Chain A
């Protein structure tokens, strides 16, 4: 896959196509061998990967910190639930409507965010998350309050999606589409404008990049991704409550960015896998330890957030570029060594 391999250009492309084909085959066959629980976990990874790529447009590309990504996920999920449950709209329309409506909300949030940077932007997105999550509880005639809403199983003609495997394939298809969309986007003018804004807003503006257009676009794209993820989340869970979207969800998405390395799609997906699985792995460990140390099981929730805190602080202190940054260092190091210089690359 690496660009400096000795194969010719066509050979490299063939190689790449083989890899993609093989991995697609693997993920398509996965539900045939995996248990239902594992299939459900992988579905969650697909859903989170979509949302995390959305956050990547903000944090990774444009350099805008959003603490409210979980709120967009909640909006996508609730739009899905309300349209499907209350208005009986066909799911296949909802699958397009939910991201678009969430995207429109994203534009509304972007309007104040255009004036704000850094701390102020973080605070307004934090306030947005709190307003949404408290609002979901308060508006109980629309959102069902604490009880939440049921999401009926989506149907397409004769086909009804109702078990883990079905949701797996649905999420897989949507995730692959969104993945290719963001990969393609990273080769366009829009991507370069985002990066320019991240590097230095004033110079970007001087080069003719319209800040308000591209910042709004970044928020719009981020919330479309989050809306799609929320829609899939709602149908996969079958029932959603405000408790599915606490502030910790937004923190988890930020963790995915930190762990994977902001600005890289590969890193985002790796980070998503690790952070989505982290609580389940932890639960497994805690249950295994439970027979000898019963008190560990009682404190699982606290242990989980302690690990979260350690991951965030540890990565920001010792590995600020995340795994993508680590990979870059390793590659740089070996390239330098193989050229015989033996220069240790400087840590940026």
Chain B
């Protein structure tokens, strides 16, 4: 019995790193959705772009921190361009139009990435990733621990930023009422750009981690779809929900791989998403705003 519990606990622990990645991705969805009310379905492709840019930076034998910095800049430029020239036209339009637009942009970006980097699998090296770390009770590689720490740190930092800084307050104001905050002198366009920028930076981190944890190929944008499951579980507009949802989906995936089989990996996430939408569509921590029939 004790051994079974231990096994169970270690499987759950195994799901945490991938869960951390889902946290980061879900966070990038939440950031954009809260401020701009646009659900950015091309976030997966932006994440993939971040991973590929880091890969290119490493190919040019830049040191890792410089390469990832280069990727931050490159991805942010692309994200801000999309936001400024395309998605600004769709602010305050019906949400399903922005869903279709971002779906189209995602397809477009995937094609561009395929042409620039090709479709073959690549290996992205992250320094110190496989070094073992022994904390009391935990045996994990530094990289996996790093992913979990990054996810938690990102959420803590963002929560602090939104709660205590003036700019963060402006973001919250924009999220709660666009027109009122505009009247009060908030430059909402700057808030929108800021949200996209933060989301881009966070998804670069997620992209690099995914590429290192599995492999760098155009298929990794599917992780963003699974992250939507985490997002649904946490609630579309809750930052705290993103962390719970992300880790929960990571654990569910790890458990289903162990108890059902490798085929069911992503399926489990989508089944959870389906169930949550049926039972509690606003998620665990979202605002109850769903209209009923």
Contact = CB atoms under 8 A, between A and B. Distances in A.
Interface of A: 65, 67, 111-112, 114-120, 122-124, 126-128, 130-131, 134-135, 137-138, 201, 205, 211-212, 215, 248, 251, 254, 258, 299, 301-306, 308-313, 316-317, 320
Nearest to B236: A119
B106 to A, nearest CB: 8
Given A251-B107, A305-B107, A316-B100, A120 B270 contact: no
Contacts of B229: 127
Given A119-B95, A301-B114, A126 B108 contact: no
Given A115-B292, A138-B264, A138-B267, A120 B107 contact: no
Given A122-B99, A134-B267, A303 B274 contact: no
A72 to B, nearest CB: 15
B266 interface: yes
Nearest to B97: A316
Interface in B139-189: none
Nearest to A302: B114
B103 interface: yes
B277 A126 contact: no
Contacts of A309: 104-109, 111
A113 B266 CA distance: 22
27 contacts: A67-B103, A112-B278, A116-B277, A117-B291, A119-B39, A120-B281, A120-B290, A122-B39, A123-B277, A124-B277, A131-B270, A211-B293, A251-B104, A251-B107, A254-B103, A302-B110, A302-B111, A302-B119, A303-B115, A304-B111, A305-B107, A306-B108, A306-B112, A311-B104, A312-B104, A316-B101, A317-B101
Interface in B263-293: 263-264, 266-267, 270-271, 273-274, 277-278, 281, 290-293
Contacts, number: 139
B89 interface: yes
B291 A201 contact: yes
B105 A123 contact: no
Contacts of B25: none
Contacts of A135: 267
Contact of B99 (A65, A117, A124, A128): A65
B273 A127 contact: yes
A127 B270 contact: yes
Nearest to B89: A317
Contact of B96 (A65, A127, A134, A138): A65
Given A120-B281, A127-B273, A215-B293, 11 more contacts: A115-B292, A116-B277, A116-B281, A119-B96, A119-B99, A127-B270, A305-B110, A308-B111, A316-B101, A316-B104, A317-B89
A58 to B, nearest CB: 11
Interface in B219-235: 225, 228-229, 232
A302 B115 contact: yes
B221 to A, nearest CB: 11
Interface residues of B, number: 44
Contacts of B104: 251, 308-313, 316
B277 A120 contact: yes
A312 B109 CA distance: 13
Residues of A contacting B: mostly: helix
Contacts of B9: none
Interface in B35-65: 39
Closest 8 CB pairs of A and B: A309-B108, A312-B104, A306-B111, A302-B114, A65-B96, A305-B111, A112-B278, A302-B111
Nearest to A59: B96
B115 A299 contact: yes
Interface in B234-273: 236, 263-264, 266-267, 270-271, 273
Nearest to A257: B100
B136 interface: no
Among B236, B267, B278, B293, residue most surrounded by chain A Cβ atoms (within 10 Å): B293
A32 B8 CA distance: 66
Contact of A128 (B106, B228, B274, B293): B274
Given A124-B274, A134-B270, A118 B96 contact: yes
Contacts of B103: 67, 251, 254, 312
Contacts of A251: 103-104, 107
Given A119-B39, A138-B267, A313 B101 contact: yes
Given A127-B273, A306-B108, A312-B107, A317 B114 contact: no
B137 interface: no
A111 B281 CA distance: 13
Among B108, B225, B266, residue most surrounded by chain A Cβ atoms (within 10 Å): B108
A131 B112 CA distance: 28
A131 B271 contact: yes
Given A120-B290, A130-B225, A130-B270, A248 B115 contact: no
A124 B283 CA distance: 13
Contacts of A317: 86, 89, 101
A326 B292 CA distance: 35
A299 B48 CA distance: 18
Nearest to A304: B111
Nearest to A135: B267
A138 B281 CA distance: 27
Given A123-B228, A131-B267, A118 B94 contact: yes
Contacts of A128: 274
A304 B112 CA distance: 10
A128 B115 CA distance: 30
Contacts of B119: 301-302
Given A138-B264, A312-B101, A112 B277 contact: yes
Contact of A115 (B108, B115, B293): B293
Contacts of B96: 65, 118-119, 122
A115 B270 contact: no
Contacts of B95: 118-119, 122
